[in-house]
Chains A and B, each alone.
Chain A
């Protein structure tokens, strides 16, 4: 495992495999009700969030606590990023307190890189701007691997706000490294430039994207994108771009439905899709804790 986990761009299959196999082991233990691990005993972990989040923060906090770490939560309002202490100074302060790992979420792309360049502590990116959200992609891949036994050769359809999605990008980098095929579909206003050069197949319709897919992943559509002129209304989005039961029928019969949450029911996915037998959305949650345990223990390992 590298010194920091900033993103999955440039990761080789073996590196991802290393994390996923420990994650599977952790998840197995968790399923059996185990919550006392010792991998991070006497370690201090700071969870530093510059953006609101409930599930990712809770997931990381449980992961660190289950591993036996001492955990401190710091919330900084996004609005104070420009006014308050600089990230570099915050990092130096946390370092001086002998922090072993910093889990950071930040609204600006590249912020974890800046922090990692500044501190001795290990940095885990919990989502930065429109850049990456590596543990989300890892938990998605863990969920896929459990469902299908392998990731190689899977056809994964990702639908939704690709432009602003760090989840889509981390999945694209991770999945292509693992040998999966990634198909994407979104309104043209929400497709980032050059995404095909990164290995995605951009589809002309949701039907084409979903056709024969093993995994159908919806991405959250935020109301603020409507106000920014990316589409006329959530209703129109759902009608022309959302995944409903009929669209899902184009995928393989045993296809898994994933979503990073929280879901807007009836927008990117209909309730029928979310609550179907094919949905693995709840499964993703436990995968998340397991993956974060694996990442934190691997990253802090070598100095033991």
Chain B
């Protein structure tokens, strides 16, 4: 297959290039390649997007999402590789569940799916999960996502033991005692709505703890979904003194503020909570200056029944796979502050490098994982059009730019706008 006339995003910038794909790999990159091909005039070719923080809900919560619906949503959103979090039922804390997920992903045959194992058995925070066996079965990291490991001692041991297997801990940062049942950010809007708030420190304290552990042990750590300006600053300072810390954020933290909660829209309920304008601005600055390494969705699909209840009872989470690229492009790159190459790094090369995954760059010999978008296409986010089972998005009705036209995985078109997935 030859991809012709696309604007190809490389580390050096965007250039009009043709790509020849052979046996699932990028075989040739040149200004012009002879032969029939797919005409991509006016379209932009990104290295295949990678989302290292997704909840596929399978096994156990297939009412919310399953491997097939989740992977369909992923390729529709332009993702060629996703990593799925272990808070399923059963928890991904042993090689059997990892193998099951790998098998299901293969059967589904859309994007690449990399399981993330739990840090502790049953995510109970007590004994280490079977980290070595999970790695051998294909797990790419460990995480207790949804909660923090309560004991700093267990966390330290997890970092050490995982490092023997080349795995990083991906840390959800939340001091449970300080959150104390809070469901939104504590501030003007929590008071206005009467919803129980949780202060920045509840997130920052755990970010600081994980940084301290990584620094003491001289080991790497990755901080999940950073939402506070102060958390961004903690990571910036840690990086400056050489701590091996990487971090991610999500489109909702650089797009929305806690104003979104004012009418009790339960789709705005997410953990960590939407914060204030100064946090939103700091998150963008963190992405710009390299403090935050990547953009993830924290795709958290839920059934409508779990959101059509009182705000305090509603499930936390946003269905994000199908809106992440457009929101990121619209908010960060369309009119700056990021270049398309920088955006591609945040959504592809950096997550690949953090988890040592193949891909992330359009270079000769690399797997032909490519995301092709029409950056001029304006569209309105409509959860009714989602292929994910989770229709829970606070972005409903929002106008964005950037539409995924094709998602190519190992040289095969897995998503084509308006068409069936091709084999």
A-to-B contact residues, CB < 8 Å: 9, 81-82, 86-88, 106, 108-111, 113-114, 128-132, 166, 169, 192-195, 197-198
For B199, give the chain A residue with the smallest CB separation: A193
Contact between B264 and A193 (Cβ–Cβ < 8 Å)? no
Tell me the smallest distance from the CB of B213 to a CB of chain A, in Å: 28
Whether A131 contacts B186 by the Cβ 8 Å rule is no
For B194, give its contact among A81, A128, A194 (CB under 8 Å). Answer: A128
Count of chain B residues with Cβ under 8 Å from any Cβ of A? 21
A109 closest partner in B (C-beta) = B194
CB-based contact B309/A194 at 8 Å: no
Please pick, from A108, A110, A114, A192, the residue contacting B191 in the complex, using a CB distance under 8 A: A192
B188 within 8 Å of A (CB atoms):
yes
B310 within 8 A of partner (CB)? yes
**Nearest-CB distance from A185 to chain B (Å)?**
16
> Lowest 4 CB-CB distances: which A-B pairs, in order?
A131-B194, A194-B188, A109-B194, A110-B264
A128 to B311, CA, bound (A): 12
- The answer to whether A110 and B311 touch (CB under 8 A), given A192-B191, A198-B191, A198-B192, is yes
Query: CB-nearest residue of chain B relative to A50?
Result: B310
Chain A residues in 8 Å Cβ range of B194: 109-110, 128-132, 166, 169
Which of B192, B263, B305, B309 counts the most A-chain CB atoms under 10 A from its CB?
Answer: B192
Give the chain A neighbours of B313 by CB distance below 8 A: 81-82, 108
- The answer to whether A114 and B312 touch across the interface, beta carbons within 8 angstroms, is no
The reply to whether A9 and B311 form a contact with Cβ atoms under 8 Å apart is no
Contact partner of A194 among B187, B196, B305, CB < 8 A? B187
Q: A108-B312, A129-B312 are in contact. Are A193 and B186 (CB under 8 A)?
A: yes
Which of B186, B193, B305 has the most chain A CB atoms inside 10 A of its CB? B193
Closest to A82 in B: B313
Whether B310 and A81, one on each chain, are in contact in the complex, defined by CB atoms closer than 8 angstroms, is: yes
Q: Is the CB of A113 within 8 A of B263?
A: yes
In the complex, A166 Cα to B195 Cα: how many Å?
11
Q: List 11 A-B contacts (CB under 8 A).
A: A9-B192, A81-B313, A86-B309, A108-B311, A110-B310, A111-B310, A113-B264, A166-B194, A192-B190, A193-B188, A197-B188
For the complex, is B308 an interface residue (Cβ under 8 Å from A)? yes
Q: A86-B305, A114-B308 are in contact. List 11 more A-B contacts (CB 8 A).
A: A88-B309, A106-B310, A108-B313, A109-B312, A129-B312, A132-B194, A169-B191, A194-B189, A194-B190, A194-B191, A194-B192
B197 on the interface (CB 8 Å rule)? yes
Complex contacts, B188 vs chain A, CB 8 Å: 193-194, 197-198
Within 8 A of A (CB), among B197-239: 197
> How far, in whole Å, are A261 and B263 apart by their CA atoms in the complex?
29
Q: How far is the CA of A106 from the CA of B264 in the complex (A)?
A: 15
How distant is the Cα of A86 from the Cα of B195 in the complex, in angstroms?
19
Known A-B contacts A109-B194, A109-B195, A198-B192; A114 and B187 likewise in contact (beta carbons under 8 Å): no
- Are A109 and B308 within 8 A (Cβ)? no
Inter-chain CA distance A128–B194, complex, in Å, is 8
Interface string of B275-313 (1 = CB under 8 A from A): 000000000000000000000000000000100111111
Which residues in B have their C-beta under 8 angstroms from that of A192? 190-191
How far does the alpha carbon of A197 sit from the alpha carbon of B196 in the complex, in Å? 18
Contacts of A81 in B (CB 8 A): 310, 313
**Cα distance, A192 to B184, chains bound together (Å):** 13
Which residues from chain B contact A111 at a C-beta distance below 8 Å?
Answer: 310
Kindly state the separation between the CA atoms of A114 and B266 in the bound complex, as whole angstroms.
10
Chain A proximity of B274: nearest CB distance (Å): 15
Per the bound structure, the CA–CA distance linking A195 and B264 in Å amounts to 19
**Chain A residue nearest to B180 in the complex (CB):** A228
A114 to B190, CA, bound (A): 17
Other-chain residue from A88, A114, A166, A169 in contact with B264 (beta carbon distance below 8 A):
A114
- B263: A residues at CB distance < 8 A: 113
Give chain B residues whose Cβ lies under 8 Å from the Cβ of A88.
308-309
The answer to whether A130 touches B309 (Cβ under 8 A) is: no
CB-nearest residue of chain A to B305: A86
Contact present for B190 and A193 (CB under 8 Å) = yes
A302 to B309, CA, bound (A): 30
A45 to chain B, nearest CB (A): 22
Shortest A38–chain B CB gap in Å is 36
CA–CA, A193 to B273, complex, Å? Answer: 16
Least distance between B311 CB and chain A CB atoms (Å): 5
How far apart sit A132 and B195, CA to CA, in the bound complex (Å)?
Answer: 11
Which chain B residue shows the least CB distance to A132?
B194
Choice from B196, B264, B310 contacting A130 with Cβ under 8 Å: B196
As a 0/1 sequence over residues 305 to 325 of chain B, the CB contacts with chain A under 8 angstroms (1 = contact) are 100111111000000000000
Q: Which residue of B lies closest to A166 (CB)?
A: B194
Nearest-CB distance from B83 to chain A (Å)? 32
Max chain B Cβ within 10 angstroms of own Cβ: one of A106, A109, A113: A109
